[in-house]
Amino acid sequence: MVNLKQSVAPAGAEVTRNAPHAVVIGGGFGGLAAAVRLGARGYRVTVLDRLDAPGGRAYVHHIDGFSFDAGPTIITAPFLLEELWALAGRRLEDDIDLRPMTPFYRLRFDDGSWFDCSGDPDAMRAEVARLSPEDVDGYEKFMELSSRLCRVGFENAAHTPFGSLMDMARVAPEMIAVKAWRSIYAAVCSYVRHPHLRVALSFHPLLIGGNPMSVSAIYGMISSLERRWGVHFAMGGTGALVRGLVSLIEGQGNVVRCGAEVTQILTKDRRAVGVRLSSGEEIAADIVVSNADAAWTYRYLLPAEDRRHWTDRKVEGMDYSNGLFVWYFGVNRRYDDVGHHTITLGSDYKGLLKDIFSKKVLSQDFSLYLHRPTATDPSLAPPGCDTFYVLSPIPHLDAKIDWATEAEPYRRAIAKFLDNTLLPGFEQHVVASRVTTPQDFHDRLLSFKGAGFGMEPVLLQSAYFRPHNKSEDVENLFLVGAGTHPGAGIPGVLSSAKVLDKVAPDASAFASAQAGAAST
């Protein structure tokens, strides 16, 4: 029988000691949101994170006065955050200053032309007309489709568990009606002709781990989702949201422990009963929620004998999302002509996608996301300075690239590209720098194959075909985060935590069971 110790809450924490205990593995957005929701349902919650601070992919790097959000930077569907604050008896606006972005972002094409995306229908029609007048009617029809896709794929499905094929059958008619089997790129091409506009309306999955040429047309919902709820930035950076969520958890009397690496989910009779840390400490739990990478959870945290569905062979045989090369840099001057969010597209967009997802080679072409948060919040850099990060989609670790030797040449190639496009002469002003590669995702974030977003969100790896929110293999084990349903991105991982409301038992169920056992 496994010997387990209960975690001890810090002094002054007001927790109900006899409440059922939920252990959450990982302090990313999914794990923190799950902790708030479970706390609101009567659980005593302990969040365990292996890093020295919470956030996971949303960790914050502090270098010489510059603050760099390590991962997500775009906030959409803020109502999901408002729900979490309300569950903890607080108001989001009292703790977090969300600023709407106008425009949302600028796409800059290789020929020097650009396209500004915003939530203003008239402004968007004008942008389409400026780029391709003959595509205005097609754009309007695509946005009608996007609205339907948003209803089917987000409003009706994102917060719903897909634990059985019957759940898939329930949504199949709607999926067929919107032709979800097509790729998002193919769907867009059926409405507009201009190649730049086709990219502008279909690139979004690339930022959550999917190839626009192969992921489902359901991702066309993102255009409607952004128009309906806007694109926002949290003052203080995304890290301000992480700190706010930790504050909610602690306000519920629950615990977030950093520097606590889970090396095994403990089981008894195929039921999760706790976790073991790298220190050897064992912590008992009534339920375990893993916000760790889903593939890593099954491959490395659960013994093989407990896994009839997610076997080693199945985990290793899935297709995984792209890797990410991210260069964080601070400069000792301002670039006020550069917007908050800029996406630069290279000369061979389709070839780049083939190199990333099919050939798994390091392309000589670039499509980059450049983030300049000091355009909105100058406090993220010293006075008169700018904070940047530039993100390049690349293959995951199956590409067999030795990042110990290739990281610096690749960084220099990106620097040359930026010097020739958006930031001429900027390198002489760089005073802070840090690089992250797929190897870092694997080693630091325990991301399987160093993939940035878990399993690739193609149709047959989505919903029912993705690792379930309620584990298929082990009772009382639940999954949240990018690797489970509905997928990556802040709305996705927050929605995965919301699914727990339907698949995880209420704390009262454990209390009733304990009372019944005591009476007998």
Point out the domain boundary residue: 185, 205, 230: 230
Same domain, 126 and 214: yes
pLDDT band at 513, cuts 50/70/90?
A: low
Same domain, 327 and 434: yes
Same domain, 243 and 219: no
CATH of the domain at 373: 3.30.519
Mean pLDDT value of segment 319-323: 96
Point out the domain boundary residue: 204, 230, 256: 230
Q: Is the pLDDT of residue 342 over 90?
A: yes
pLDDT band at 1, cuts 50/70/90?
A: very low
Residue type present at position 451? A
Residue 123 forms part of a structural domain: yes
* pTM tops 0.85: yes
Mean pLDDT value of segment 487-509: 94
Report the pLDDT value the prediction gives residue 169, as an integer from 0 to 100. 81
pLDDT band at 503, cuts 50/70/90?
A: very high
pLDDT over 70, % of the chain = 95
Residue 102 forms part of a structural domain: no
Q: Is the pLDDT of residue 38 over 70?
A: yes
Cα–Cα distance for residue pair 175/219, rounded to 1 Å: 12
Same domain, 422 and 482: no
Residue 113 forms part of a structural domain: no
Closest CA to 335 of 420, 424, 415, 411: 424
DSSP label of 375: G
Q: Taking phi first (over 0 means left), then psi (-120 to 50 degrees means alpha), and beta for anything else, what does residue 4 get?
A: beta
Same domain, 350 and 439: yes
- 233-249: pLDDT as tens digits: 999 999 999 999 999 99
Q: Which helix (H) or strand (E) holds 276?
A: strand 272-277
Report the pLDDT value the prediction gives residue 341, as an integer from 0 to 100. 97
Cα–Cα distance for residue pair 511/497, rounded to 1 Å: 22
Point out the domain boundary residue: 230, 262, 280: 230
- 202-225: pLDDT as tens digits: 999 998 999 999 999 999 999 999
Cα–Cα distance for residue pair 251/14, rounded to 1 Å: 9
The angle that helices 238-251 and 29-40 make with each other, rounded to 10 degrees, is 30
DSSP label of 421: T
pLDDT band at 13, cuts 50/70/90?
A: very low
Average pLDDT, the chain: 93
On whether the CB atoms of residues 49 and 24 are closer than 8 A, the answer is no
HEC string of 222-255?
Answer: HHHHHHHHCCEEECCCHHHHHHHHHHHHHHCCCE
Cα–Cα distance for residue pair 418/201, rounded to 1 Å: 24
Report the pLDDT value the prediction gives residue 157, as an integer from 0 to 100. 85
Residue 218 forms part of a structural domain: yes
Residue 364 forms part of a structural domain: yes
Hey, which bits of 14-74 come out as E strands? 21-25, 44-49, 60-63, 66-69
In degrees, to the nearest 5, what angle opens at C-alpha 227 toward C-alphas 225 and 232? 85
Residue 371 forms part of a structural domain: yes
Query: Which range is most confident: 116-125, 155-164, 454-463?
Result: 116-125
- 405-449: pLDDT as tens digits: 999 999 999 999 999 999 999 999 999 999 999 999 999 999 999
Residue 5 forms part of a structural domain: no
Report the pLDDT value the prediction gives residue 514, as an integer from 0 to 100. 59
Between 17 and 500, name the one with better pLDDT. 500
Mean pLDDT value of segment 269-287: 97
Report the pLDDT value the prediction gives residue 8, as an integer from 0 to 100. 32
Report the pLDDT value the prediction gives residue 180, as an integer from 0 to 100. 84
Cα–Cα distance for residue pair 221/401, rounded to 1 Å: 34
Cα–Cα distance for residue pair 132/141, rounded to 1 Å: 15
Same domain, 439 and 490: no
Same domain, 313 and 348: no
Same domain, 430 and 327: yes
Same domain, 239 and 218: no
Residue 43 forms part of a structural domain: yes
Mean pLDDT value of segment 86-101: 97
CATH of the domain at 496: 3.50.50.60
Question: In the chain, how many domains are there?
Answer: 3
Mean pLDDT value of segment 23-42: 98
Cα–Cα distance for residue pair 40/145, rounded to 1 Å: 37
Same domain, 163 and 242: no
User: Which residue segment(s) compose the domain that 173 sits in?
Assistant: 119-230
pLDDT over 90, % of the chain = 85
